[in-house]
Chains A and B, each alone.
Chain A
């Protein structure tokens, strides 16, 4: 058997592949909406702002994965809601509001973590590191997939159940409001879906790298289509494929001696997919554009009767 197929069939690796694949699909799907709405960096803010939620949940006695995830999601969502409030009341520009909430919430998380470390010495150092960078070499067990399935699949279902509403909200919120749709509530719901996707990814790939999983598949998919349906599906497919390919790549490389962390490998894979799409996409792509320009120049020159 081909060694790559062998890896795919490896029962020890299967949960990891499932996990990163599912995560890639989920973040690709929500990322498509985020990129279309020019809110690509929502994911970045949520992943940073989740930290105080994790700490607070831990403080309140939560030790199970699900409780920590709920805490993370709650504080991530709160940060985005505050950003929305600031922008709606015209008190801060969107980007500065995002940066401000990101930094304040992250600072609060650090403060809480610092106090936790004093109260429960030795419990959190590893976790914090994992939270920031993702697991060293992601080894997902079958049991770890539970939150991804229990929360991630419903999040995707919400995305498709409110398809028409979210589409309208993304492209023309004023029109949506004039039709009587509860725009603000829909916005909150879509935000909640983004938050769930991001928070689920934190444990596997970490804060910084989760932003890439939201943005890059959508940017890649955007180059191939102008329609929302294909965009979301393609972003999900590219996200899932990058997740699986990145995991395989990091495991293959790791077997040659040096440990190659999974999260960064996935991010670089998905970035490569995005860059390749920017270059090679048939209509929007840079190469196609350069080619068209060349053809036009030739035609212009020949029509002008240049020597």
Chain B
């Protein structure tokens, strides 16, 4: 692994970790698309502040970007509160408008400034190793963007741990939180400020659009694996770290855009989890359905036998060779069902005749009692 790759991996990893924590809350609070909108609108804040200060290195640019994120949230909520526009349409109205103002101002006033669109929109992790070093008490601790994002990741994690109870309550039952005096609105805007701040910091590394992948995908992946909030945070962090390491490796191996490759890797991890998650995964669901179908067939068999037990029709109805006609099953499926029912001790077979065991009789009775109607 080259030094450049190591630096890039570190930067992407801390970015992913910083995004994972607020991402969990965005997903749970159905605010994922607000994250997307904030990402787009940062440009508006940067351009606006540059227009005011005329300095591309001014710290006010960062302040402007964070504020523009919060402004987006406030405008969307203002529109929603009129009850004339629903949430999704409000988002779709606000962020393109702010983005347009940003591009208009940029293209009218900063024609000569070197504002590389590709870099602004896609980030430039590749240049992580060119960034200046950050010093702590005169000791170099790492590249400046990496250190900043690491600090942010730490801060996000600490805040989430510190205000875990408040976040949990306002996320899952805002009304109860309000009656208990927890001020959900304050929590909401604090979270939105954290998201804006994180997005701004991640802006340099991965660009405003791919930040959405870092916010949403680890949380969605973790959500498939657990129903508990604390585990959700931990698993999201783990997924984020894994995605960053694998993604950067793949990007350097195939020599392509690092941030994009990491987003794709996070998407692939999500896809794999979708398939393989132990309880909610697609394969698990398919397996459950398969087992339930087999169990149901056995139940139907016992009910059928119980219905005709002791009646004159029993010899005909309980004959293995004609069972497929009575139950409207595929002839080939009968042997399997009967075999399993025998193994489970529900029926016994003598020649062509099937008989219920006491256990089978009880099984039929119970199943019958549970039938609706």
Contact = CB atoms under 8 A, between A and B. Distances in A.
Interface of A: 35, 38-41, 43-44, 48, 86, 89, 91-93, 95-100, 102-104, 106-111, 113-115, 118, 125, 128-129, 132-133, 136, 208-209, 211-212, 214-216, 218-219, 222-223, 258-261, 263-265, 267-268, 271, 274, 278, 284, 286
B264 A111 contact: yes
Interface string B303-320: 000000000000000000
Contacts of A259: 107-108, 111
Contacts of A41: 33, 36, 88, 91-92
A129 B106 CA distance: 14
A103 B212 contact: yes
A161 to B, nearest CB: 26
Contact of A209 (B99, B219, B274, B285): B99
B27 A96 contact: yes
A40 B101 contact: no
Contacts of A43: 92
B96 A107 contact: no
B226 to A, nearest CB: 14
B209 interface: yes
A222 to B, nearest CB: 8
A100 B220 contact: yes
B37 to A, nearest CB: 9
A285 B354 CA distance: 75
A103 B108 contact: no
Given A103-B212, A114-B256, A133-B103, A286 B82 contact: yes
Interface string B241-279: 000000000010011110111111011001000100000
Contacts of A96: 26-27, 30, 32, 216, 219-220
Contact of A129 (B31, B97, B118): B118
B202 interface: no
Contacts, number: 202
Contacts of A265: 100, 104
Contacts of B33: 41, 44, 95, 98-99
A95 B84 CA distance: 20
A260 B213 CA distance: 32
> Chain B contact residues: over half helix, strand or loop, or mixed?
helix
Choose among A91, A111, A267 the residue with the greatest number of B CB atoms under 10 Å from its CB.
A111
A113 B95 CA distance: 25
B93 A215 contact: yes
Given A107-B259, A114-B256, A263-B103, 12 more contacts: A96-B27, A100-B220, A104-B217, A106-B210, A111-B257, A114-B257, A114-B260, A132-B121, A208-B95, A212-B96, A216-B92, A216-B93
B33 to A, nearest CB: 5
Q: Classify chain B: how many residues form its interface, as a range.
A: 35 or more
* 8 closest Cβ pairs, A-B complex: A107-B263, A110-B260, A104-B267, A103-B213, A215-B92, A212-B96, A264-B100, A114-B257
A104 B213 contact: yes
A121 B111 CA distance: 25
Nearest to A220: B93
B220 A128 contact: no
A107 B95 CA distance: 20
> Chain A contact residues: over half helix, strand or loop, or mixed?
helix
B256 A115 contact: yes
Given A107-B262, A261-B103, A95 B280 contact: no
A99 B256 CA distance: 23
B283 interface: no
A208 B100 CA distance: 9
A209 B104 CA distance: 12
B108 A113 contact: no
Interface string B98-138: 01110110011001000001100110000000000000000
A103 B217 contact: yes
Interface in B280-327: 280, 282, 285
Contact of A99 (B216, B257, B282): B216
Contacts of B282: 89, 91
5 contacts: A44-B33, A93-B30, A95-B31, A215-B93, A259-B111
Contacts of A39: 88
B89 interface: yes
B355 interface: no
A129 B117 contact: yes
A83 B75 CA distance: 27
B84 A274 contact: no
B32 A104 contact: no
Contact of A211 (B96, B215, B251): B96
Contact of B93 (A98, A118, A212, A264): A212
